Amino acid sequence: MKFDQASPPNPIDQERVVTRPHTRLEGPLKVSGQATYAYEYDVTGTPIYGSVVGAGVAHGRITRIDTAAAEAAPGVLLVLTHETMPAQGGSDTPVPQQQEASPQLAGPDVRHYHQAVAFVVAESFEQARAAAALIEVEYDVTPGQFTLADTLDAGEEPEDAADSVVGDFERAFRDAAVSVDLTFTTPDQSQAPMEPHATVAHWDGDQLTVHTAHQVVHWVRRGLALTLGVPQKDVRVVSAFVGGGFGTKLLFFSDAVLSAAAARILGRPVKTALPRPLMFNHTSHRAATIQHVRLGADTDGTLHAVGHDTWTGNLPGGDTEPACEQTKYLYAGEHRLIRTRKTELDLPPGASMRAPGEAVGMLALEGAMDELAEALGLDPVELRVLNDIQFDPEQGPKRPFSSRRLAQALRTGARAFGWADRPRAPRERRDGEWFVGYGVASAFRTNLVKPSGAAVRLEPGGTLTVETQMTDIGTGSYTILGQVAAEMLGLTLEQVRVRLGDSEFPPASGSGGSWGANSASAGVYAACDELRRVLARQAGYVPANAVFRNGKVWQGAECTELRDLAGADGVSATGRMTYGDLTERYVQAGFGAHFVEVGVNVHTAEVRVRRALSVVAAGRILNPVTARSQCLGGMTMGIGSALMEELHVDHDLGLFVNHDLGEYHVPVHADIPDLEVIFLDELDDQSSPLRAKGLGELGISGVGAAVANAVYNASGVRVRDFPITLDKILAGWDARA
C-alpha cells in the first residue's frame, strides 16, 4: 500500500479502541521481571561471557599488546585483538552508520578513547573482567583535537546540512529597528539509557542469532552481516524489549560484533554487556555546539531577518548535530541565513540523541526570541504568535504545512498556566528564599515517516496476532499497534496479541526520529486492510461494503463471526506501507508550547523547577496514556539538558571524564515537579492513514529554553552557556553588583 494522497475516511476514524486510554500491554511483564531483555535470554548451550577492553588513549597507535597473562588466567577461553580478530567488513569511518559495516576491534590505529582494542571471553563474567584487566597495551600517542572552540576556522559545510540563503539577510539585519546578536553553547551529552548495550550471540551451523538491544532491527541485521561477512539471510536479530535507547541504540557497537565473532570461534553462546563507564566513551553521544543567532524585527515585532549559524564537531565521516533545523520552519522572516559548519574532533562518535538538532537548537532560537521580546517590550507569547506562518518560510505558499497549530498551543498554554499573571520583570516576585520566574518557548519537531510492514493472522477462535520488526524501547509500541489492529478488525484490545522485534517478522520502521508509532501503525493498518479484504471475500461480501465490529464482519444487516471465518487453520495476511511525495509537497511537523515556573534561591542561586506545562499538537493521539508518558519523559530530559546534563571533556587526554551515572547528572524524582500535558485535537491527513504525527521527541524540543527563560525572569541573569548551573547565575549577580 502506498500513501501518496490525503487520507480519506477509514476504519480508524471509528475510534472505538484507538485514541482511548489503555495501559501498556507489556506493563505487567516489566514490573514483575518477566520481560526478557537482550542479556537475559536463555539459549541452547551453556553461555560464556565477554569483556571489552577500551583504548586508554584518544588518538594514536598500538605499539605493543600483551595478552599472555590474560590468556593464562582462570576460565579464559579466548582473547581477541586486532591481530587475531577474524576479518571484518570495511568502513571508511569509525562511526557505525546504521546499516553500514562497522568494524569493532581497533588496531593498530586508535581513533577515540575507549574504542575496543581487546575482547576476553571466559566461563564467567567475573573471570572475563579480571582477565581483561591483565592485558597490557602500549601506545604511540599522537596529538588529537578535542576542543570545538579551537576548530571553528576549519569548519566545513557538511553534505547533510547545506546552507539556506533567502533574500539579503545581512542588509535586513543591519537595517532592523530592533535586533539581537547572541551566541549560545551546548555541551556534549550522553543518552545514558537505563539498559546498557548488551548482546547474546549464538550460532547453529551457519545461522547466527543475536539477541541485542537495538532500536531498528533491519539496520543492525544488515550492518552485522556486512561487518561479519555473512549473508544477511543467515542472521537473525531479536530485540523484543529494549530498556531505553534515546538514539544510541540506532547504532551497534562491540558487544554485538565481538560476541558474534567469538561465538563462532568457540561454538558456544557468548554474552556481553558494556559496563556503564565504557558506554559513555565507547558508544555515541550528542555532540557539543556553538550557535550564533541573529534576529532583526520592526518595532511591532515583525521578523524580517532570521540568522542561525551552528558549529559542531565529530570524527571524520560522522554526522552533524543539526541544531539549525527548526529555524528553517518555525517563524516568518523573508531574509534568512542558516548555516552549519562541521569540524573534525577526536572525541567518541557523535550521533543521534533524543530530538537530534531541535533539542539543542531550540535552546538557542527560543532563548533569542525571549531576548528579542524583551528588547521590543512585547509579551514573549505574542511575539511568537505574531510571527506564526502557515507555509515554508523558504519556499513560500507553494509548500504549506500539512497542519500547524502553534498559535493555538501558545494561547491555550498561556490560559492554562496563568501566563497573564506572570512576573513582568526579573526579581519582581519572591516566595520566601526564592525568586520566582516564568518562561515560555515554542515546541517543534519535524515529522518523519518510514516504510513499515506487518503480518497479521486471525487465529482459530477469533483472536488476532500481529507480528512486525517494530521495537518497543519503553514507548508503548505493543499497546499502540494492538489498538490499531483491534480497531481495524472490530475486536477488543484483549483479543489481540502483538509480537515485536524479531527479524523473522516483516521489516518495520523501528524506533527513532519520532517516526515509530505513526509509521509502524501504518504498516499494521496496511496488513489489516488486506486481511479485511480476504475475510470479506471469504464471507461472500463486497470488501468495500464490509464493516468489522464486535468480532463480526457485517454487510448491511447480514453478519458472519470472525472465528467462523478463521476455521481450524486461521487466516493470514501481510501488508507494507510506503510513502509518496507528501513530505516534499507539505512541511510536516509537530508543534506545541512549553511553560515553566522556576524558583531561584536568593542566597545560593540553586534552581528548582516548580511546575511545567506542555501543550502539544501532534495529529491524532493514538493512546493518551502512552503519549503523555512520552511527553513527560521529554520534558524531564529537557529540564536535565537545561540545568545539569554535561559530559566534561578532558581537553588534554580526549575523554569524557564523568563517564558514569554518579557524575553524569540526570534528573531524579526530587528534581521534577508535577508536570502537565494538554493535547490539542488535530488530524493530519497528509501524514498517514492514522492521521497521526511523531510525538516522542516533540516533548523535549523547547523545554530547556522555557526553563532558561524562566531562570532569567526569576534571577535577572541570562545564561547562554548550558547547562545553567548556580555558579553561572552567581557570576551574573556578581557582575551586576
Distance between CA atoms of residues 486 and 532, nearest Å: 12
Other CB atoms within 10 A of residue 565 CB? 18
One-letter-per-residue 3-state SS of 539-551: CCCCHHHCEEECC
One-letter-per-residue 3-state SS of 261-320: HHHHHHCCCEEEECCHHHHHHHCCEECCEEEEEEEEECCCCCEEEEEEEEEEEECCCCCC
The closest alpha carbon to 679, from 610, 639, 629, belongs to 629
Question: Rounded to 5 degrees, what are φ and ψ at 561?
Answer: -65, 135
Ramachandran region of residue 141, left (φ > 0), alpha (ψ -120 to 50) or beta?
Answer: beta
Residue showing cell 542561525: 308
The closest alpha carbon to 240, from 468, 523, 524, 44, belongs to 468
The H-assigned helical ranges of 491-609 are 516-538, 562-566, 582-585
CA 1 to each of CA 453, 525, 580: distance values in angstroms, whole numbers, following the listed order: 10, 10, 11
User: What is the per-residue DSSP string for 499-520?
Assistant: EESBTTSPP---S-TT-HHHHH
Residue showing cell 468480532: 551
Catalytic-residue membership of 334: no
Residue 61, SS3 per DSSP: strand
Q: Do 491 and 551 touch, CB atoms closer than 8 A?
A: yes
Distance between CA atoms of residues 518 and 154, nearest Å: 40
Other CB atoms within 10 A of residue 167 CB? 16
Distance between CA atoms of residues 477 and 492, nearest Å: 17
The vertex-676 CA angle with 675 and 677, nearest 5°, equals 130
The cell for 313 is: 564537531
The closest alpha carbon to 103, from 217, 285, 226, belongs to 226
Q: Which of 100, 645, 646, 697 is the catalytic position?
A: 697
Residues 6+ apart with CB under 8 A from 163: 157, 337, 338, 339, 340
Residues 6+ apart with CB under 8 A from 635: 594, 612, 614, 675, 677, 699, 700, 703
The cell for 706 is: 522555557
Distance between CA atoms of residues 470 and 478, nearest Å: 9
CA 570 to each of CA 69, 401, 453, 465, 564: distance values in angstroms, whole numbers, following the listed order: 59, 44, 20, 10, 10
Q: Do 685 and 345 touch, CB atoms closer than 8 A?
A: no
User: What is the per-residue DSSP string for 207-242?
Assistant: EEEEEE--S-HHHHHHHHHHHHT--GGGEEEE-S--
> Active-site positions?
697
